[in-house]
Structure 1
Protein backbone atom coordinates (compact mmCIF):
# COMPACT_ATOMS: atom_id res chain seq x y z
CA UNK A 1 0.00 0.00 0.00
CA UNK A 2 2.88 2.37 0.80
CA UNK A 3 4.39 1.92 -2.67
CA UNK A 4 1.00 2.41 -4.34
CA UNK A 5 0.36 5.63 -2.42
CA UNK A 6 3.82 6.96 -3.20
CA UNK A 7 3.42 6.19 -6.91
CA UNK A 8 -0.07 7.70 -6.94
CA UNK A 9 1.22 10.90 -5.32
CA UNK A 10 4.09 11.14 -7.80
CA UNK A 11 1.72 10.56 -10.73
CA UNK A 12 -0.78 13.14 -9.45
CA UNK A 13 2.08 15.64 -9.35
CA UNK A 14 2.93 15.06 -13.00
CA UNK A 15 5.24 12.06 -12.67
CA UNK A 16 5.11 8.69 -14.36
CA UNK A 17 2.06 6.47 -13.88
CA UNK A 18 2.32 3.73 -11.23
CA UNK A 19 3.72 0.35 -12.30
CA UNK A 20 1.24 -2.33 -13.18
CA UNK A 21 1.34 -6.09 -12.97
CA UNK A 22 -0.16 -9.12 -14.65
CA UNK A 23 -3.81 -9.94 -14.10
CA UNK A 24 -4.73 -12.27 -11.24
CA UNK A 25 -6.17 -15.59 -12.43
CA UNK A 26 -8.45 -16.81 -9.65
CA UNK A 27 -9.44 -19.85 -11.72
CA UNK A 28 -5.91 -21.32 -11.81
CA UNK A 29 -4.20 -22.38 -8.58
CA UNK A 30 -0.63 -23.23 -7.68
CA UNK A 31 -0.79 -26.97 -6.94
CA UNK A 32 1.69 -26.76 -4.05
CA UNK A 33 -0.07 -23.93 -2.18
CA UNK A 34 -3.59 -23.63 -3.54
CA UNK A 35 -3.10 -19.88 -4.09
CA UNK A 36 -4.25 -18.17 -7.28
CA UNK A 37 -1.57 -17.45 -9.87
CA UNK A 38 -0.72 -14.17 -11.57
CA UNK A 39 -1.26 -10.74 -10.13
CA UNK A 40 1.28 -8.70 -8.24
CA UNK A 41 3.33 -11.22 -6.27
CA UNK A 42 4.47 -9.61 -3.03
CA UNK A 43 6.60 -11.81 -0.72
CA UNK A 44 3.57 -13.06 1.25
CA UNK A 45 2.23 -14.56 -1.97
CA UNK A 46 5.50 -15.57 -3.60
CA UNK A 47 6.75 -17.31 -0.44
CA UNK A 48 3.48 -18.14 1.32
CA UNK A 49 3.04 -19.45 4.85
CA UNK A 50 -0.74 -19.17 4.93
CA UNK A 51 -3.75 -19.09 2.68
CA UNK A 52 -4.61 -15.59 1.57
CA UNK A 53 -8.02 -14.87 0.13
CA UNK A 54 -10.01 -11.87 -0.94
CA UNK A 55 -13.13 -13.59 0.35
CA UNK A 56 -14.32 -12.98 3.86
CA UNK A 57 -17.57 -13.70 5.61
CA UNK A 58 -17.99 -10.59 7.72
CA UNK A 59 -20.82 -12.11 9.72
CA UNK A 60 -22.81 -8.91 9.43
CA UNK A 61 -19.96 -6.71 10.68
CA UNK A 62 -20.12 -4.56 7.58
CA UNK A 63 -18.76 -4.40 4.07
CA UNK A 64 -15.57 -2.56 5.03
CA UNK A 65 -14.18 -5.50 7.04
CA UNK A 66 -14.65 -7.74 4.01
CA UNK A 67 -12.32 -5.56 1.94
CA UNK A 68 -9.31 -6.99 3.72
CA UNK A 69 -10.06 -10.60 2.93
CA UNK A 70 -8.85 -13.32 5.27
CA UNK A 71 -5.80 -15.44 6.01
CA UNK A 72 -5.42 -18.91 7.42
CA UNK A 73 -2.01 -19.95 8.81
CA UNK A 74 -0.66 -23.30 7.66
CA UNK A 75 -0.41 -25.03 11.01
CA UNK A 76 -1.34 -28.66 10.30
CA UNK A 77 -5.06 -27.86 10.23
CA UNK A 78 -4.95 -26.88 13.93
CA UNK A 79 -7.05 -23.70 13.98
CA UNK A 80 -10.84 -23.21 13.96
CA UNK A 81 -10.99 -22.32 10.25
CA UNK A 82 -9.63 -25.73 9.39
CA UNK A 83 -13.00 -27.41 9.72
CA UNK A 84 -13.23 -27.03 5.93
CA UNK A 85 -16.64 -25.46 6.01
CA UNK A 86 -17.92 -22.30 4.35
CA UNK A 87 -15.97 -20.15 6.81
CA UNK A 88 -12.55 -21.60 5.96
CA UNK A 89 -10.66 -19.29 3.59
CA UNK A 90 -8.22 -22.05 2.66
CA UNK A 91 -10.93 -24.35 1.36
CA UNK A 92 -14.37 -22.76 1.08
CA UNK A 93 -15.92 -25.75 -0.69
CA UNK A 94 -15.87 -29.52 -0.27
CA UNK A 95 -13.97 -31.75 -0.52
CA UNK A 96 -11.48 -30.63 2.13
CA UNK A 97 -7.81 -30.39 1.24
CA UNK A 98 -5.00 -30.53 3.76
CA UNK A 99 -2.95 -27.38 4.19
CA UNK A 100 0.56 -27.29 2.71
CA UNK A 101 3.32 -28.41 5.07
CA UNK A 102 5.78 -25.58 5.68
CA UNK A 103 8.74 -27.89 6.32
CA UNK A 104 8.24 -29.42 2.86
CA UNK A 105 7.95 -26.04 1.14
CA UNK A 106 10.94 -24.61 3.05
CA UNK A 107 13.28 -27.42 4.18
CA UNK A 108 15.52 -25.03 6.13
CA UNK A 109 15.17 -21.58 7.66
CA UNK A 110 17.97 -20.38 5.36
CA UNK A 111 15.98 -21.60 2.34
CA UNK A 112 12.87 -19.75 3.51
CA UNK A 113 14.82 -16.56 4.25
CA UNK A 114 16.59 -16.69 0.88
CA UNK A 115 13.25 -16.99 -0.92
CA UNK A 116 11.75 -14.10 1.06
CA UNK A 117 14.78 -11.91 0.31
CA UNK A 118 14.55 -12.68 -3.41
CA UNK A 119 10.79 -12.04 -3.49
CA UNK A 120 11.17 -8.78 -1.59
CA UNK A 121 13.89 -7.55 -3.95
CA UNK A 122 11.83 -8.52 -7.00
CA UNK A 123 8.88 -6.55 -5.58
CA UNK A 124 11.11 -3.51 -4.96
CA UNK A 125 12.53 -3.78 -8.49
CA UNK A 126 8.99 -3.92 -9.93
CA UNK A 127 7.99 -0.85 -7.92
CA UNK A 128 5.37 -2.73 -5.92
CA UNK A 129 7.19 -2.52 -2.59
CA UNK A 130 9.25 0.24 -0.99
CA UNK A 131 12.79 -0.68 0.12
CA UNK A 132 11.99 0.13 3.75
CA UNK A 133 8.94 -2.16 3.64
CA UNK A 134 11.05 -4.91 2.07
CA UNK A 135 13.50 -4.58 4.96
CA UNK A 136 10.65 -4.99 7.46
CA UNK A 137 9.42 -8.11 5.65
CA UNK A 138 12.89 -9.68 5.50
CA UNK A 139 13.49 -8.91 9.19
CA UNK A 140 10.20 -10.60 10.13
CA UNK A 141 11.18 -13.64 8.07
CA UNK A 142 14.63 -13.74 9.71
CA UNK A 143 13.01 -13.66 13.16
CA UNK A 144 10.45 -16.34 12.31
CA UNK A 145 10.84 -20.03 13.01
CA UNK A 146 9.76 -21.00 9.52
CA UNK A 147 11.76 -23.66 7.70
CA UNK A 148 13.03 -27.08 8.56
Structure 2
Protein backbone atom coordinates (compact mmCIF):
# COMPACT_ATOMS: atom_id res chain seq x y z
CA UNK A 1 0.00 0.00 0.00
CA UNK A 2 1.33 3.44 -0.90
CA UNK A 3 1.74 6.23 1.65
CA UNK A 4 -1.05 8.15 -0.09
CA UNK A 5 -3.40 5.14 0.11
CA UNK A 6 -2.60 4.74 3.81
CA UNK A 7 -3.29 8.43 4.40
CA UNK A 8 -6.66 8.18 2.64
CA UNK A 9 -7.63 5.11 4.70
CA UNK A 10 -6.69 6.95 7.88
CA UNK A 11 -8.64 10.03 6.76
CA UNK A 12 -11.74 7.90 6.22
CA UNK A 13 -11.58 6.70 9.84
CA UNK A 14 -11.44 10.18 11.42
CA UNK A 15 -14.35 11.98 13.09
CA UNK A 16 -13.06 15.31 11.76
CA UNK A 17 -11.92 15.49 8.13
CA UNK A 18 -8.22 15.53 7.35
CA UNK A 19 -6.97 17.79 4.54
CA UNK A 20 -7.35 16.26 1.08
CA UNK A 21 -4.17 14.73 -0.35
CA UNK A 22 -3.57 14.01 -4.00
CA UNK A 23 -0.69 12.49 -5.95
CA UNK A 24 1.64 14.72 -7.93
CA UNK A 25 5.17 15.86 -8.38
CA UNK A 26 7.28 18.93 -8.79
CA UNK A 27 10.38 19.48 -10.91
CA UNK A 28 12.93 21.90 -9.45
CA UNK A 29 15.71 23.79 -11.17
CA UNK A 30 17.67 26.76 -9.92
CA UNK A 31 20.29 29.29 -10.85
CA UNK A 32 22.55 31.53 -8.80
CA UNK A 33 22.46 35.30 -9.35
CA UNK A 34 25.29 37.53 -8.20
CA UNK A 35 24.32 41.20 -8.45
CA UNK A 36 21.24 43.19 -7.47
CA UNK A 37 20.51 44.54 -10.97
CA UNK A 38 20.69 41.04 -12.44
CA UNK A 39 18.22 39.83 -9.80
CA UNK A 40 15.41 42.19 -10.74
CA UNK A 41 15.99 41.68 -14.49
CA UNK A 42 15.95 37.90 -14.17
CA UNK A 43 12.91 37.92 -11.87
CA UNK A 44 10.99 40.12 -14.33
CA UNK A 45 11.90 37.75 -17.18
CA UNK A 46 10.07 34.95 -15.33
CA UNK A 47 6.87 36.94 -16.02
CA UNK A 48 5.01 36.21 -12.77
CA UNK A 49 1.36 37.28 -12.90
CA UNK A 50 0.69 36.88 -9.16
CA UNK A 51 2.97 36.86 -6.17
CA UNK A 52 4.75 38.82 -3.52
CA UNK A 53 7.94 40.86 -3.40
CA UNK A 54 10.17 41.82 -0.51
CA UNK A 55 12.53 44.73 -1.05
CA UNK A 56 14.83 46.38 1.50
CA UNK A 57 12.19 49.03 2.29
CA UNK A 58 8.95 47.71 0.84
CA UNK A 59 6.83 44.60 0.56
CA UNK A 60 4.02 44.08 -1.90
CA UNK A 61 1.52 41.56 -3.19
CA UNK A 62 0.76 41.71 -6.89
CA UNK A 63 -1.98 40.38 -9.14
CA UNK A 64 -2.19 40.74 -12.93
CA UNK A 65 1.53 41.41 -13.32
CA UNK A 66 4.39 42.85 -11.32
CA UNK A 67 4.44 46.43 -10.07
CA UNK A 68 7.17 48.77 -11.27
CA UNK A 69 9.67 49.00 -8.40
CA UNK A 70 10.43 52.46 -7.02
CA UNK A 71 14.10 53.32 -6.42
CA UNK A 72 13.27 54.05 -2.75
CA UNK A 73 12.35 50.38 -2.26
CA UNK A 74 16.01 49.33 -2.50
CA UNK A 75 17.18 45.90 -3.68
CA UNK A 76 14.89 42.93 -4.17
CA UNK A 77 15.57 40.49 -1.30
CA UNK A 78 13.01 37.72 -1.81
CA UNK A 79 9.97 36.92 -3.92
CA UNK A 80 7.53 34.21 -4.91
CA UNK A 81 5.30 34.19 -7.93
CA UNK A 82 3.43 32.08 -10.44
CA UNK A 83 3.36 32.67 -14.19
CA UNK A 84 0.51 32.22 -16.68
CA UNK A 85 1.61 28.59 -17.31
CA UNK A 86 1.33 27.63 -13.58
CA UNK A 87 5.11 27.55 -13.18
CA UNK A 88 6.09 28.83 -9.74
CA UNK A 89 9.18 30.93 -9.09
CA UNK A 90 11.00 31.53 -5.83
CA UNK A 91 13.82 33.97 -5.12
CA UNK A 92 15.84 33.92 -1.92
CA UNK A 93 19.08 35.50 -0.71
CA UNK A 94 21.85 33.15 0.36
CA UNK A 95 23.33 35.48 2.98
CA UNK A 96 26.65 35.84 1.17
CA UNK A 97 25.66 38.38 -1.48
CA UNK A 98 24.03 35.92 -3.88
CA UNK A 99 20.44 34.98 -4.71
CA UNK A 100 18.96 31.64 -5.72
CA UNK A 101 16.18 31.72 -8.31
CA UNK A 102 14.21 28.46 -8.31
CA UNK A 103 11.71 27.25 -10.91
CA UNK A 104 9.08 24.84 -9.57
CA UNK A 105 7.05 23.11 -12.28
CA UNK A 106 4.20 20.69 -11.55
CA UNK A 107 4.65 17.23 -13.08
CA UNK A 108 2.86 13.89 -12.86
CA UNK A 109 4.03 11.86 -9.92
CA UNK A 110 3.14 9.81 -6.87
CA UNK A 111 4.29 12.23 -4.19
CA UNK A 112 1.55 13.10 -1.66
CA UNK A 113 0.56 16.75 -1.98
CA UNK A 114 -1.99 19.09 -0.46
CA UNK A 115 -2.86 22.78 -0.53
CA UNK A 116 -2.68 25.28 2.28
CA UNK A 117 -3.71 28.92 2.37
CA UNK A 118 -1.85 31.39 4.58
CA UNK A 119 -3.12 34.82 5.60
CA UNK A 120 -1.24 37.56 3.76
CA UNK A 121 0.46 40.09 6.00
CA UNK A 122 -1.21 43.50 6.13
CA UNK A 123 -3.93 42.71 3.58
CA UNK A 124 -7.30 41.83 5.12
CA UNK A 125 -9.13 38.75 3.86
CA UNK A 126 -6.32 37.83 1.44
CA UNK A 127 -4.54 34.47 1.36
CA UNK A 128 -1.43 33.03 -0.28
CA UNK A 129 -1.98 29.58 -1.81
CA UNK A 130 0.76 26.97 -1.54
CA UNK A 131 0.89 23.42 -2.79
CA UNK A 132 2.90 21.30 -0.37
CA UNK A 133 4.70 18.14 -1.45
CA UNK A 134 5.37 15.51 1.20
CA UNK A 135 8.00 12.81 1.48
CA UNK A 136 7.91 9.70 3.65
CA UNK A 137 10.96 9.38 5.91
CA UNK A 138 11.33 5.72 6.95
CA UNK A 139 13.86 6.59 9.67
CA UNK A 140 11.27 8.71 11.51
CA UNK A 141 8.15 6.96 10.21
CA UNK A 142 6.64 10.33 9.26
CA UNK A 143 5.61 12.35 6.27
CA UNK A 144 7.68 15.52 6.13
CA UNK A 145 7.18 18.50 3.88
CA UNK A 146 9.75 18.34 1.08
CA UNK A 147 8.84 21.54 -0.78
CA UNK A 148 6.09 24.14 -1.01
CA UNK A 149 5.13 25.75 -4.32
CA UNK A 150 3.44 29.16 -4.44
CA UNK A 151 0.19 28.93 -6.43
CA UNK A 152 -1.34 32.39 -6.22
CA UNK A 153 -3.44 34.81 -4.21
CA UNK A 154 -7.11 34.40 -3.26
CA UNK A 155 -9.55 36.72 -1.53
CA UNK A 156 -11.79 35.66 1.34
CA UNK A 157 -11.23 31.91 1.21
CA UNK A 158 -9.15 30.68 4.14
CA UNK A 159 -10.01 27.01 3.58
CA UNK A 160 -9.42 24.84 0.56
The answer to whether the superposition gives a TM-score over 0.5 is no
Q: Judging by fraction of residues, say which structure has more strand.
A: 2
TM-score (norm 2): 0.21
Please report the TM-score for the alignment, with normalisation by the length of structure 1: 0.22
